């Protein structure tokens, strides 16, 4: 593929080297990280701190920020370039030109078990040993990979992909253009038990789990249904592997959760919230729109909109950094305290 063809397909491109160097239109055969790029590949950099990489990369083409110095450096090395305010997004678009995930042909494997009452849309791919139970509704162009189990009355929206070995529990509602990765369980029972003198009495989980359009759920994640009401994940939210969203949680739009995030029941997450790896959120806590929790943060109380928090229990990130600096000096401070106690004649 010629570089000029790639440039035409990058929707966020602001300008390219073709304006001044139309003759520099190399053949591009793939994408690569900047450190690993060779002749025939296209890569990207995100800022001036990568200037050294521009000077030594083997790439034939680069996606650059709106930095004239980097653009001039690439031009001097006869590297074709695209300039944009969103280099990473442009690179994602470039990858999509060279790679698309495997998608089987729209057909039903003879080993699939589909209940007669299930409704299956047009151009649906259903793999080997899939089980689709009573009352299920499958939209158009859905892709269901092998060994998926869909419990009764579940709904799967148009163009959604269910990867091998995931499970969709009863009455779960999954929107259009969602992706559920292998091993995920959507709509499984919430952890509901009532203490009695004889032990724990099981509270049946009669509610619903709803994933709106464009939600992606990573491998081995679980999103539980509640005893009553619903657990809901709003549109375009992206969930990494091994994440647990408990019963009754409400997750807003365009959130991102890294691996091993855990939410207790009744948590409310606003729109565009970011949760880094291993964040834990206590029962019924709320995070406001645009808030961020750094890795391993333990959240026990509400987080205001736009706040960045860290640590356990969570505190504002700037305060956490100050506390961390003090923590590293605790041994020294302890020795100083012992010396003062001795001088005062007190026991250490």
> Which residues have a catalytic role annotated?
247
Nearest by Cα to 252 from 191, 303, 300: 303
Round to whole Å and give the CA distance between 186 and 71: 47
Q: Give whole-number Cα distances, 264 to 14, 160, 231, 238, 267, in Å.
A: 44, 27, 12, 18, 6
Nearest by Cα to 174 from 224, 233, 239: 233
Q: Count CB-CB contacts under 10 A for residue 335.
A: 10
113-126 as b/e: b if 16+ CB within 10 A: ebeeebebeeebbb
Chain-centre distance of CA 149, in angstroms? 23
Round to whole Å and give the CA distance between 216 and 236: 7
Do the beta carbons of residue 9 and residue 93 sit within 8 Å? yes
State whether residue 232 is helix, strand or coil: strand
DSSP result, 125-175? EE-TT-EE-TT-EE-TT-EE-TT-EE-TT-EE-TT-EE-TT-EE-TT-EE-
Round to whole Å and give the CA distance between 312 and 279: 10
Do the beta carbons of residue 87 and residue 46 sit within 8 Å? yes
Do the beta carbons of residue 298 and residue 316 sit within 8 Å? no
Round to whole Å and give the CA distance between 145 and 180: 10
Work out the angle at residue 253's Cα, subtended by the Cα atoms of residues 256 and 266, and round it to the nearest 5 degrees: 85
């Amino acid at each position: 593929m010629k570089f000029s063809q790639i440039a035409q397909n990058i929707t966020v491109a602001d300008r390219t080297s073709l304006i001044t160097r139309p003759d520099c239109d190399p053949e591009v055969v793939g994408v690569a990280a900047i450190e690993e790029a060779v002749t025939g590949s296209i890569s990207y950099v995100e800022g001036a701190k990568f200037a050294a990489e521009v000077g030594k990369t083997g790439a034939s083409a680069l996606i650059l920020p709106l930095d004239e110095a980097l653009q001039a450096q690439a031009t001097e090395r006869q590297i074709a370039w695209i300039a944009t305010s969103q280099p990473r997004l442009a690179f994602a678009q470039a990858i999509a030109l060279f790679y698309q995930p495997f998608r089987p042909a729209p057909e039903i494997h003879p080993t699939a078990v589909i209940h007669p009452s299930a409704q299956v849309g047009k151009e649906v791919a259903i793999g080997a040993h899939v089980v689709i139970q009573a009352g299920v509704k499958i939209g158009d162009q859905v892709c269901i990979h092998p060994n998926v189990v869909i419990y009764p009355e579940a709904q799967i929206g148009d163009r959604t992909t269910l990867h091998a070995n995931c499970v969709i529990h009863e009455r779960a509602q999954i929107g259009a253009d969602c992706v559920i990765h292998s091993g995920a369980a959507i709509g499984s029972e919430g952890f509901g038990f009532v203490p009695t003198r004889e032990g724990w009495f099981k509270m049946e989980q009669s509610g619903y789990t709803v994933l709106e359009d464009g939600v992606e759920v990573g491998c081995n994640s679980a999103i539980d249904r509640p005893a009553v009401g619903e657990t809901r994940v709003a549109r375009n939210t992206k969930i990494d592997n091994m994440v647990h969203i408990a019963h009754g949680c409400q997750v807003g739009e365009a959130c991102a959760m890294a691996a091993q995030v855990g939410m207790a029941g009744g948590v409310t997450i606003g729109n565009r919230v970011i949760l880094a790896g291993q964040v834990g959120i206590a029962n019924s806590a709320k995070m406001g729109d645009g808030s961020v929790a750094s890795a391993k943060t333990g959240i026990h109380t509400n987080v205001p909109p736009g706040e960045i928090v860290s640590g356990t229990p969570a505190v504002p990130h700037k305060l956490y950094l100050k506390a961390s600096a003090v923590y590293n000096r605790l041994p020294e401070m302890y020795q100083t305290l012992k010396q003062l106690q001795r001088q005062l004649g007190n026991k250490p």
